[in-house]
């Protein structure tokens, strides 16, 4: 259930807009951080290099002005004042031989770069290196520089401070960016939801209309916006469709009513011929056939009109609670003589009470149609069972028979108007009984389903919203 909900949210436009917003925002934030990080790193590296160059210049002037002995003692003093763990100084001759050093106890693995020395000797300039030493946790920045004839000074500076600074910087960034992404995700989600609320309303209206609430319209709140324009266009379209459907329905109903009058008149004429009572007269026999055909036609037209009527009231709000149990009991009583005649066992599994909101006459008609079919399509010795159950605030009425069944190909079409399966053509009927049953069930906000195995039987299950006992 929870997973289904998550999957549903994943497919929504609001979620996708928010996701894209969060992705674009995260990528641009990470990109901006990266650029900022690189600029900071360059600035700090330049500053460190500049500090090392300043030291070289300072020791070069000490060597020139005060001589070698002062230089050597200055190296030691300077290292001690900066911290012997943080920095070291090593005075070398061009062959790489140590002439003097500061305290090297923390720098045992710091070697002398021969190629750097050669480069310094050739260019009389300075050379930088960044090394990772095995006994030191942080990288070391090293500079070699000539500070006088035959004198090269090697200075090593631990990059611990820089590494710590960038460590904190990264942590702050990760925390900051996570907070911003979550925050922007929530804001984005709320904004997307707010912007799409109109679309949601249109969808809900479309769902309500598809369930039969044809009068429903979308509430247009903020006029002028794109969604409001869409809602207005949608409402106008619905008005137009409703007008057309109404016109078409009125036309068919008028035709049906108009046809009923001449048929009734023909029937009347045939009846008066029949009432003359001449036995073995051919006209009498024709008159009887005409009456029968007229009755069939009138029944068909009346059922068609009943379907239109039920459909017009789809999802109509019914004020009365109707108990289905007595309806079923009466319907079973009505069909018992016919069932006995056909040798069919009628079983009722409906007791107590089962209330739904509805129209008693239409509900009666729906149950009669289902029972009539079940008996009609069940052979001698079979059985028809009607049961009632309550499940998730729905009343379930099941009409099960052990009759001829319905093939897989026919099953999806049986609720269509005038549809009759080939296997049942020998039985009387117009193919309208199930259409009417479905229209009635839908007008009560319910649903009807059929399951069947050819040769074994069928089950028609009607679900209707439960109503409290009055």
C-beta of 439: minimal distance to ligand ADP in Å?
Answer: 11
Close Cβ partners of 158 (under 8 Å, ≥ 6 residues apart): 85, 86, 87, 136, 138, 140
Distance CA 310, CA 314 (A): 6
Distance CA 350, CA 357 (A): 18
Close Cβ partners of 166 (under 8 Å, ≥ 6 residues apart): 37, 40, 41
Instruction: State the DSSP code for 466.
Output: B
Distance CA 177, CA 180 (A): 5
Among 374, 395, 397, 441, binds ligand ADP (CB under 6 A): 374
**Per CB under 6 A, 373 contacts ligand ADP:** yes
Contact 397, 322 (CB under 8 A): no
C-beta of 307: minimal distance to ligand ADP in Å?
Answer: 10
Among 294, 367, 421, 439, binds ligand ADP (CB under 6 A): 421
Distances (CA, A) of 258 to 187, 265, 268, 292: 63, 12, 16, 20
Q: Name which of 103 and 372 has its Cβ closer to ligand ADP.
A: 372
Question: How many CB atoms are closer than 10 A to CB 330?
Answer: 13
Query: By CB under 6 A, which span of 217-225, 255-263, 353-361, 416-424 interacts with ligand ADP?
Result: 416-424
C-beta of 332: minimal distance to ligand ADP in Å?
Answer: 16
Query: By CB under 6 A, which span of 46-54, 63-71, 205-213, 432-440 interacts with ligand ADP?
Result: 432-440
What is the DSSP annotation of 331-388? HHHHHHHHHHHTTPEEEEE--S--EEES-HHHHHHHHHHHHHHHHHT--TT-EEEEEE
Distance CA 170, CA 33 (A): 9
Among 156, 188, 198, 433, binds ligand ADP (CB under 6 A): 433
Nearest to 440 by CA among 390, 366, 368: 366
Among 386, 458, 463, 464, binds ligand ADP (CB under 6 A): 458
C-beta of 405: minimal distance to ligand ADP in Å?
Answer: 6
Copy the structure tokens of residue 16: 């996708």
Q: Name which of 96 and 429 has its Cβ closer to ligand ADP.
A: 429
| Pattern 229-258, ligand ADP, x by CB under 6 A | ------------------------------
Q: Name which of 63 and 402 has its Cβ closer to ligand ADP.
A: 402
Q: Name which of 362 and 420 has its Cβ closer to ligand ADP.
A: 420
**Per CB under 6 A, 400 contacts ligand ADP:** no
C-beta of 384: minimal distance to ligand ADP in Å?
Answer: 9
Burial of 328 from C-beta contacts in 10 A (0-12 / 13-18 / 19+): buried
Alpha helices in 226-359 (DSSP H): 226-275, 282-312, 324-341
Query: By CB under 6 A, which span of 121-129, 261-269, 356-364, 372-380 interacts with ligand ADP?
Result: 372-380
Distances (CA, A) of 1 to 6, 11, 12, 153, 271: 9, 16, 17, 74, 65
Q: Name which of 12 and 461 has its Cβ closer to ligand ADP.
A: 461
Query: By CB under 6 A, which span of 37-45, 151-159, 320-328, 412-420 interacts with ligand ADP?
Result: 412-420
**Per CB under 6 A, 406 contacts ligand ADP:** yes
| Pattern 327-366, ligand ADP, x by CB under 6 A | ----------------------------------------
**Per CB under 6 A, 141 contacts ligand ADP:** no
**Per CB under 6 A, 377 contacts ligand ADP:** yes
**Per CB under 6 A, 403 contacts ligand ADP:** yes
Query: By CB under 6 A, which span of 171-179, 247-255, 291-299, 369-377 interacts with ligand ADP?
Result: 369-377
C-beta of 189: minimal distance to ligand ADP in Å?
Answer: 49
Q: In what order do the strands lie in the sheet with 457-465?
A: 345-349, 383-391, 394-401, 457-465, 447-453
Query: By CB under 6 A, which span of 182-190, 243-251, 310-318, 398-406 interacts with ligand ADP?
Result: 398-406
C-beta of 438: minimal distance to ligand ADP in Å?
Answer: 9
**Per CB under 6 A, 431 contacts ligand ADP:** yes
**Per CB under 6 A, 430 contacts ligand ADP:** yes
The size of the chain, in residues, is 470
Residue indicated by tokens 């289905």: 324
Question: How many CB atoms are closer than 10 A to CB 419?
Answer: 14
Distance CA 88, CA 103 (A): 7
C-beta of 432: minimal distance to ligand ADP in Å?
Answer: 6
Nearest 10 degrees: CA dihedral of 129, 130, 135, 137? 160
Query: By CB under 6 A, which span of 108-116, 184-192, 344-352, 422-430 interacts with ligand ADP?
Result: 422-430
Q: Note the residues at the interface with ligand ADP (CB under 6 A).
A: 373-374, 377, 401, 403-406, 414, 419-421, 424, 429-435, 458
């Amino acid at each position: 259930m929870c997973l289904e909900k998550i999957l549903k949210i994943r497919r929504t436009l609001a979620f996708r807009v928010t996701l894209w917003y969060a992705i674009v925002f995260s990528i641009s934030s990470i990109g901006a951080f990266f650029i900022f990080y690189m600029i900071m790193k360059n600035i700090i590296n330049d500053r460190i290099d500049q500090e090392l160059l300043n030291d070289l210049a300072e020791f070069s002037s000490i060597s020139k002005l005060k001589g070698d002995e002062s230089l050597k003692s200055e190296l030691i003093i300077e290292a001690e004042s900066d911290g012997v763990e943080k920095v070291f100084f090593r005075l070398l001759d061009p062959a790489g031989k140590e002439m003097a050093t500061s305290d090297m106890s923390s720098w045992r693995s710091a070697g002398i770069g021969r190629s750097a020395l050669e480069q310094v000797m050739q260019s009389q300039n300075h050379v930088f290196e960044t090394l990772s030493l095995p006994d030191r946790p942080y990288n070391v920045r090293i500079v070699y520089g000539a500070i006088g004839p035959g004198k090269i000074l090697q200075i090593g500076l631990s990059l611990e401070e820089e590494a710590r600074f960038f460590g904190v910087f990264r942590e702050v960034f990760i925390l900051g960016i996570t907070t911003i992404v979550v925050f922007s995700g929530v804001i984005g989600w709320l904004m997307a939801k707010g912007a799409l609320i109109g679309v949601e309303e249109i969808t809900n209206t479309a769902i309500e209309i598809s369930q039969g609430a044809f009068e429903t319209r979308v509430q247009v709140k903020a006029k002028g916006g794109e969604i409001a324009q869409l809602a207005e266009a949608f409402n106008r379209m619905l008005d137009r469709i409703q007008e057309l459907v109404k016109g078409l329905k009125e036309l068919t109903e008028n035709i049906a009513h108009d046809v009923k009058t001449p048929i009734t008149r023909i029937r009347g004429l045939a009846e008066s011929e029949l009432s003359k009572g001449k036995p073995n007269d051919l006209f009498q026999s024709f008159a009887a056939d005409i009456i029968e055909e007229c009755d069939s036609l009138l029944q068909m037209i009346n059922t068609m009109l009943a379907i239109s009527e039920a459909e017009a009231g789809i999802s109509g709000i019914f004020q009365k609670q109707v108990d289905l149990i007595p309806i079923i009991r009466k319907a079973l009583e009505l069909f018992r003589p016919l069932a006995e005649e056909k040798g069919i066992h009628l079983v009722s599994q409906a007791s107590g009470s089962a209330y739904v909101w509805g129209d008693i006459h239409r509900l009666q008609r729906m149950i009669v149609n289902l029972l009539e079919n079940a008996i009609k399509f069940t052979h001698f010795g079979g059985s028809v069972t009607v049961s009632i159950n309550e499940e998730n605030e729905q009343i379930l009425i099941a009409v099960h028979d052990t009759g001829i069944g319905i093939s897989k190909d026919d099953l999806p079409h049986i609720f269509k108007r005038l549809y009759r399966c080939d296997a049942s053509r020998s039985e009387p009927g117009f193919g309208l009984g199930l259409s009417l049953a479905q229209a009635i069930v839908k007008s009560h906000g319910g649903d009807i389903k059929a399951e069947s195995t050819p040769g074994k039987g069928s089950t028609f299950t009607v679900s209707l919203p439960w109503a409290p006992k009055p």
